[in-house]
Structure 1
Amino acid sequence: SGTHAASAGDAGGAATPGPATSGVKFAAPPPGDLQYDTFYNGMQNMIGTIHWRTDGRTYDLSVSMPVPFVGPFSYRSEGRIDAFGIAPDRYVEKRGKRPEDIAIFNRESHQVVFTRTPNNAPLPDGVQDRFSMLMQLSGLVRGNPSAYKPGVTQQFFVIDNNSGETWPITVIGDEDVQTQAGSVRARHFMRLPRRDGDTRRIDMWLAPSLGWLPARLVQSEPNGAQIELLWH
């Protein structure tokens, strides 16, 4: 499945995050280590990984994927689980040989601060980073699968390495994903445009047989490039 980087844009205008509801039906995905075949424009690369750890109160998520000519991209999110679901404390991106970019979620000041920029972002309840968002969606679907029918759309406020924005995620429906291990039934979610002219697309297929973790992820870039992770 492709856990790939999704990038920041601005769907919610400059700002204010959409509402999150406390006491949501949330069931954190079970801990697991998943391997993925990775593809860049259809050409297969080395294996990518998702390592997910949780004890029901805290969590640690790390994602690694090879990127041709650039080196590995690695992402780490760690934090806790609260009444809104996944609650990140720290998000780290490392892209190839570039220095790490870190986002710190300061819940006392209700601000997210960044090492990459002096700017900060609001920290509403239910806020996610780019990769915790995947686990948040997984936990929400796992907690109440029947609520996520085709056409249902949910807003997530997502922190990147230097800003925050609203991601509208819609349900496409249940589909079969073809993997090396055979066909896997999965629910297809897609990020809708975050603003007029937004052509960067993210598709996620979450599989109940994998604890609602991703069987496939695809990021499609405005220039036509495509990054895919497919459960191995």
Structure 2
Amino acid sequence: MTEATAFPPTRRWRIAALILLTIVLHVLAIHWGKAYFNATDTDAHATSSVSVTLRPLELPRQPVSLPVAAARKLPKTVKPRPPASPAPEVSNAVAAVDAISDTPSTVNAVAPEPVHAAASAEPAPASAPPTDDSPPAVQGTQYHIDPPPSAELEYDVLAFSDNLTWHGTSTLDWKTDGSRYTVDGEVYTRLFAKIAFLNFTSSGEIGTFGVEPELYTEKKRNRPVTNTHFNRERNLVSFSASTTNYPRAGGEQDRASLIWQLAAIGRGDSAKFAPGAVIDMFVAGVRDGEVWRMQVVGQEEIRLITGAAQVWHVVRQPRPGSYEQRLDIWLEPGRQWYPARLRFTETNGDYLELSLSKLKTP
């Protein structure tokens, strides 16, 4: 059998075209990889994206002060005065007026109901309510909360991992009606198709503590979905990925809601943002949780695609010897305290940085 008989002209053309297409695809892949995965060629991108130098901070020395619930304001209705009554009844009337007043001493003396519920099941450290014979005192820090309005945010992603630098996109979809909230996030890149590295969702209510998560779901590439539950009925924080659990006293956050709680504090209680200040929160991850001490570094100017932005820089720095991430958050008061930049830095130097590129509000 001759070669012409074995490979007819039409088939030879098809084979040649397939070989040519393969070569073209390889050239495109090399060109794309050179732009997205070569650390040397992306130094210029990295330099333009990072506008501040991350420096180690001294860990806070002040005692931990977890959030306490904001007092619910009682309606100040004017009741008709009864006819002349004996002196003891007048004293009772004065006591009743004092009971509905909004003075700070009354707020401090009344233990919030969620804290009582958690303490009855299992006392939570640093947040137990005062006993009847204890002097009135604030058991933690009270924040005035004003969550930002709903928005869709898009970020340019710059990451360095396994000695490779790559670029991608991240989206954050924050929705709230004033009583409930959801936040959906995704980090992805594109080659010939969309490749998602991280998806997460947090949902819950806007309550007396501010942003109060009920469920946090996280899905990393090539890993199963994990769920973190903030159970109100059992006053328990639990995890699908471990048997660890913690008492729920109120004010706990997950890794996504934390950012929006800080924004809510900035909008409602901006005096809490001062250089050197610390905002303490119990943060639950996918397997366990601990107190995160968010240190306010100060006000800075950063460069974004949209231009210069005046921001507050807040840092969560892990304890020495820990393998946990450092988290840097830059919140922009000029745009409803939305996060303008986020940076997650590993102990080995790998990082994931998100810089705001688009903002859409209803």
Q: TM-score, normalised by structure 2?
A: 0.57
State the number of aligned residues: 217
2: CA distance, partners of 1:161 / 1:122: 16
Q: Give ranges in structure 2 of 5+ residues lacking alignment.
A: 1-48, 50-58, 71-142, 358-362
Letter aligned with residue 39 of structure 1? L
- Would you say 1:92 and 2:217 are equivalent positions? yes
Match of 1:145? 270
Q: CA deviation at 1:177?
A: 1.3
Letter aligned with residue 47 of structure 1? T
2: CA distance, partners of 1:92 / 1:83: 23
Q: CA deviation at 1:68?
A: 9.3
Match of 1:47? 169
Instruction: Call closer, same or farther: CA 1:19–1:35 in 2, change over 3 Å.
Output: same
Q: CA deviation at 1:71?
A: 3.5
In the TM superposition, 1:15-94 aligns within 5 A as 19-23=66-70, 24-41=143-160, 43-66=165-188, 71-94=196-219
Q: Give ranges in structure 1 of 5+ residues lacking alignment.
A: 2-10, 12-16
Q: Which has the higher contact order (CA 8 A, sep 6+)?
A: 1
Identity across matched positions, percent? 33
Contact between 2:146 and 2:267, CA under 8 Å: does it hold in 1? yes
The worse-fitting range, judged by mean Cα deviation, of 32-41 and 63-72 is 63-72
Contact between 1:71 and 1:97, CA under 8 Å: does it hold in 2? no
State the Cα deviation string for residues 148-192 of structure 1 (Å, max 9, x = none).
100001111001011111100011111111111111111000113
Letter aligned with residue 196 of structure 1? P
Contact between 1:36 and 1:229, CA under 8 Å: does it hold in 2? yes
In the TM superposition, 1:205-224 aligns within 5 A as 205-224=330-349
SS at match of 1:30: coil
Instruction: Call closer, same or farther: CA 1:223–1:34 in 2, change over 3 Å.
Output: same
Q: CA deviation at 1:109?
A: 1.3
- Would you say 1:177 and 2:302 are equivalent positions? yes
The worse-fitting range, judged by mean Cα deviation, of 112-121 and 31-40 is 112-121
Letter aligned with residue 180 of structure 2? T
Match of 2:329? 204
Question: Considering only aligned residues, what root-mean-square deviation do their CA atoms show, in Å?
Answer: 2.2
Q: CA deviation at 1:44?
A: 4.8
Q: 1:162 aligns with which of 287, 290, 295?
A: 287
2: CA distance, partners of 1:181 / 1:56: 29
1: CA distance, partners of 2:180 / 2:157: 29
SS at match of 1:146: helix
Q: 2:261 aligns with which of 136, 141, 147?
A: 136
Contact between 2:169 and 2:189, CA under 8 Å: does it hold in 1? no
Contact between 1:18 and 1:166, CA under 8 Å: does it hold in 2? no
Give the helix-richer structure, 1 or 2.
2
Letter aligned with residue 200 of structure 2? Y
Q: CA deviation at 1:114?
A: 1.6
Q: TM-score, normalised by structure 1?
A: 0.87
Letter aligned with residue 215 of structure 2? R
Contact between 1:18 and 1:157, CA under 8 Å: does it hold in 2? no
2: CA distance, partners of 1:89 / 1:201: 25
State the Cα deviation string for residues 84-136 of structure 1 (Å, max 9, x = none).
10111100000013221001111121111221122222222100001100000
Letter aligned with residue 59 of structure 1? Y
State which structure, 1 or 2, has the greater radius of gyration over its C-alpha atoms: 2
